[in-house]
Amino acid sequence: MYLNAREPAEAAAPVPLQCAPKRRSGVLHLPVRSALLTVFRRISPGRSAARTGILAGLICISLRAVALIAEAPPQVRFERLGPFGGTVRSLLISSKDSRVVYLGTSDGQLYRSADSADSWTPIHPGIGRRQLVVDTLIEDPADANHLFAGGWALRSDGGGLFESRDAGRTWAPVRLPEPDVAVRDLAISRGNPAHMIVGTLAGVFLSSDGGRSWRRTGAGMDAFLQAESVAIDPADPRFLFVGTWHLGYRSSDAGKTWIRNDRGMIADSDVFSLAIDSRDSKNMYASACTGLYRSTDRGASWVRLRVFPKSYLVRAHVVTLDPRDSRRVFGGTTEGLFVSRNAGQTWTRITDPDLIIHAVDIDPGNSNVLLIGTESHGVLRSRDGGRTWRPANAGFVHRSIARIFPDPGAPGRFLVAENAQGKNGALHIFDNPVNGWVPARGTEIPGETLLSILALPGNRGQLAGTARGVYIRRPGARGWEPLPGPIGRLSVFDLAFDRDHRWIFAGTNDGIYRALPEELRFQKPSGYTLIPRVHSLLVPRTGQARVFAGTHMGVLRSDDSGVTWTSATRGIPDYTLIHRLACSPASEDHLFAATTTGLYESRDGGRNWARAADGRLGVDLSSVIFLDASGEKVLAADNASGGIFLSEDAGATWHRLEDPAFGSPVLSLAQDPLHPNVIYLGTGTEGVYRLTIALSPKQNPDQGNR
């Protein structure tokens, strides 16, 4: 059984978003409030009640006015940079105008193209459910402006069905008999669009009035609680089909009775999609975890199709028929896209075998124009029937960014590590001088998934911490080489020097390691017995031999360059994961910890911590950095529901920096060393954003952050 069987870059110019000021809290800074109250007390005595009332009113007005001045937000600008591309879950080419294309993602976002996928624009607010995998996009056969989107939640059985009556500009939920239900597929009768069928993880439902009302079908059938795909016979809507996590079912009486289709299909097949020949509805196809199938008797029996010359086995996510020639069948699999030009008798792979295909659509007016939605590689387009393919992702990004680093060897460049599988670690390079992305050559990619980077002093090269060990690139070398020893088997989340550059520390999934820069032999300190995962390291710039480590069990502190370590988590709940640590440039005793239970602050060098009391801050904070030398301006990132928070009083109060088009969780922050008012945001689903904040001229680049 395959549970939840379909779990889920080319250079382009950044996409600017509409600016939005931070929210005004209306809270007056205490020094200003005290000054005005002092004035009031001095002019009040001996005055009449009326005059005193007038003066009080004037003071209140002044307080409000000064509050707005004191809280006036800096000008901020969000720009979506990319890297464009990523994972696509669904595609829909409009039957009315094939230049219009819709796209669904695995975080509830919808995109629209008006130029045949040359460029994409996000639809905001879209369906308004950022946690849903949008596997279903379908058009009403009677009205191309009437669209439906279905989604399911990754971490629950929830989800929903949504409709738009204005070509995707606005969306509203469709009420099903079961609320908040995971929608896996929807089908609409071509001959009678009022007839619809929806497959969910709470059952299968039918509508005969265009979705205004629904009734359950197959009540009592446990298999229908795992419905994955649905279809309606285009010639006779009495014939209905449901694919489940255990084979398929069909009805010949509009859903009154159902029969399991188990002849010819492997018994435990998850049926991902169904396609029916519109010219001869007895012919239909199914894609499943066990391969591609064909039926010539309306699904009563099936024949497994041999996709490879000597093998049937392929995991097929989707099957699609050419609307102009039903003998041409496309199968999207975990091993690329296949085409058959003879109704499934023989197959040819027409894409790279490493592609995972989630969606296939064909231009209804020109069958040579094909679009496929892939895992990680975005949209690919062919204009010659599949012989050649080109990316079509400008404006579309759906990538998870783990870390962003200024490139130590190239000022103005940033190394962007994507959360993705692959031997090359999904490394991207953004070049600020050219304001675009440049290809990452193989020699620039250190091992698997870049997690940290550190420049060695004296022009001795760079170290890179990866998901499998530490790599070094020596001066003049074309590539990276792994360092030997036990560190080569570990995930190295962070690298840092002590204050005097005598030791290099490595935070790993096996605790803290250290090495002398001259030797680069990473070992655990002899007296070190702790083994928590170390996600971040912090070395105060004036703190003698002091080092902090953020772990999955709290904060550790060393005052002897890492020889011994003690817990420094008083005030932080037990077993709290510490994502990032930051130290104020103005005081080494002033620390922040971004954690899974909130943002914590210490004013005594980490001995005691208190949670930031501002309720606008999120629960799970992924990163925190000081923006200026005074330690007054601090930025924090929300790892759960998304958001960027700015404090302009060293953390006493916080304001959310908002933009209507920005809502992804933020996994990492990186300040531009050359432009301290520019911060790069690594998001959970929307790639990299560039945030520009108007800072005063006296403020300097990043100090005290790791």
Each residue's pLDDT tens digit, 537-551: 999 877 578 899 999
pLDDT in tens, 435-447: 899 888 767 778 7
Residue with more model confidence, 582 or 15: 582
Residue 174: what pLDDT? 97
Same domain, 46 and 58: yes
Let me know if residue 531 belongs to a domain: no
Residue with more model confidence, 419 or 607: 607
Let me know if residue 706 belongs to a domain: yes
Residue 23: what pLDDT? 31
CA distance 245 to 226: 6
Same domain, 676 and 703: yes
- Per-residue DSSP letters for 316-365? EEEEEE-SS-TT-EEEEEBTEEEEESSTTSS-EE-S-TTPPEEEEEE-TT
Name the domain count of the chain.
2
Let me know if residue 381 belongs to a domain: no
SS3 for 555-623 is EEEECCCCCCCEECCCCCCCCCCEEEEEEECCEEEEEEEEECCEEEEECCCCCCCEECCCCCCCCCEEE
From the number of C-beta atoms within 10 Å of its C-beta (0-12, 13-18, 19+), residue 385 rates as middle
Residue 52 clears pLDDT 60, i.e. is over it: no
Q: Can you tell me the mean pLDDT for 683-697?
A: 87
For the beta carbon of residue 698, count every other beta carbon within 10 angstroms: 8
Residue 424: what pLDDT? 42
Whole-Å CA distances, 700 to 629, 668, 677:
6, 21, 9
- Per-residue DSSP letters for 431-493? ETTTTEEE---GGG--SSSEEEEEEPTTT--EEEEETTEEEEE-TT-SS-EE--SGGGGS-EE
Residue 516 clears pLDDT 90, i.e. is over it: yes
Same domain, 663 and 629: yes
Residue 526: what pLDDT? 79
Residue 57: what pLDDT? 42
Let me know if residue 214 belongs to a domain: no
Residue 51: what pLDDT? 40
Residue 32 clears pLDDT 70, i.e. is over it: no
Let me know if residue 76 belongs to a domain: yes
Q: What is the pTM of this model?
A: 0.84
Let me know if residue 461 belongs to a domain: no
Which residue range(s) make up the domain with 663? Answer: 9-25+71-83+576-706
Residue 590: what pLDDT? 96
Residue 378 clears pLDDT 90, i.e. is over it: yes
Amino acid identity, position 168: G
Residue 374: what pLDDT? 97
Q: Can you tell me the mean pLDDT for 392-404?
A: 94
Residue 460: what pLDDT? 87
| Helical axes 49-70 vs 30-43, angle rounded to 10° | 160
Most confident of 277-291, 400-414, 605-619: 277-291
Q: Can you tell me the mean pLDDT for 232-242?
A: 95
Confidence of residue 579 (pLDDT cuts 50, 70, 90): very high
Instruction: Supply the CATH number for residue 617's domain.
Output: 2.130.10.10
Residue 696: what pLDDT? 60
Residue 20 clears pLDDT 60, i.e. is over it: no
Residue 4 clears pLDDT 50, i.e. is over it: no
Same domain, 18 and 34: no
Let me know if residue 155 belongs to a domain: no
Q: Can you tell me the mean pLDDT for 195-224?
A: 96
Sign of CA dihedral 235, 236, 242, 247: negative
Q: Can you tell me the mean pLDDT for 589-606?
A: 95
Same domain, 46 and 64: yes
Phi, psi (rounded to 5 degrees) for 133: -90, 115
In this prediction, what percent of the chain has a pLDDT beyond 70? 86
Let me know if residue 367 belongs to a domain: no
Residue 224 in 3-state DSSP? helix
Confidence of residue 662 (pLDDT cuts 50, 70, 90): confident
Whole-Å CA distances, 162 to 136, 178, 353, 511, 609:
10, 14, 34, 47, 45
CA distance 400 to 1: 29
Q: What does the mean pLDDT of the chain come to?
A: 86
pLDDT in tens, 446-496: 877 889 999 998 888 999 999 999 999 998 888 899 999 999 999 999 999
